[in-house]
Amino acid sequence: MEKGKERLNDALDKIKALCEPVHPQSFEKLKVFFCGNIFNPDDLKATEEKRVKLYKYTVSLIRAYADIANEMAEAGYSESERIKIKEEVVFFTNLRDEIEKHSNDFIDLKQFEPAMRHLIDTYIRAEETETILADQTLLELFVSDPEKLKKNLPKSLKNEESMAEAMTHNLRKTIIERRPTNPMYFDRMSKILEQLVQDLKNENITKKEFFEQLREYATKFVKPDRDPDNEYPKRINTPGKQALYDNLGQDEELTLAAEEAIELNKQADFRENTLKERKIKNALRKVLPKGTDIDAIFNIIKEQSEY
């Protein structure tokens, strides 16, 4: 019982110390502290370490609380202390949920959610959200049905302005994660997004217009076939070919030559195998113009599931 109380007190102290720089500790201010400002595209990456600590500390807090939740009185906590501690655990649990969704981190943690959700439902019963995601991401719901998306977001993210901020962070992280598959395309998409955010900052568009334009922009990620600026020649008909096409100056013949070289020279399990990688690179050197960054093209190839 003493060890359980010690673990709970330590867990509370850690997470409170992490959030201590924020005054007052509202969800709005904590969102900026853990995710940054949407007007600064580097903030999400810069604040990543703090978010990781928040997630780890919250998991420790939930487990420590669940361990002695039914025996708080026996552990020596007064009634007022028990009430306050439960309120704090609920607050930080909801904060974690909000920050995960706001930053698009929650997808990476899905495998841990069932057991943690059981503890939350049993001992904490924090703010509930209707689990409707299934195989859909927040971005997919944002595009297809924003009203339905609201049902899966914490209260403070349900209005259009907060939802747009959350989706901006989601899009930025998606760009970072998917950029290795097609650097030229995602660099272009990044510039478009940042121009849209800058238009909002400069008040060239209203918050309502930003919300609608952001949805239209997100559609290009969720349904790329609806992107009028993303039309490829008929023979450039797979993600791998399209990535090569975008990064080889949109030269159709050059792309098909590179594709043929890859198919003729790739061997099973070629990734991270020096000899097998070298065979593909040498084949590419024979068909691509002198001065082409072969390593960069090869890195794109490695990211394609079709090769």
pLDDT value for 190: 92
Residue type for position 50: K
**Which residues of the chain are under the pLDDT cut of 70?**
106-118, 120-121, 123-136, 152-157, 223-230
Length of the chain counted residue by residue: 307
pLDDT digits (tens, 9 = 90+) for 122-136: 766 655 444 444 456
Distance linking the first and last C-alpha atoms of the chain: 56
Q: Domain spans of the chain?
A: 2-128, 139-226, 239-302
Counting other chains too, the contacts that 84-87 makes at CB distance below 8 Å and 24 or more residues apart are 85/8, 85/12, 86/124
pLDDT of the residue at 11: 95
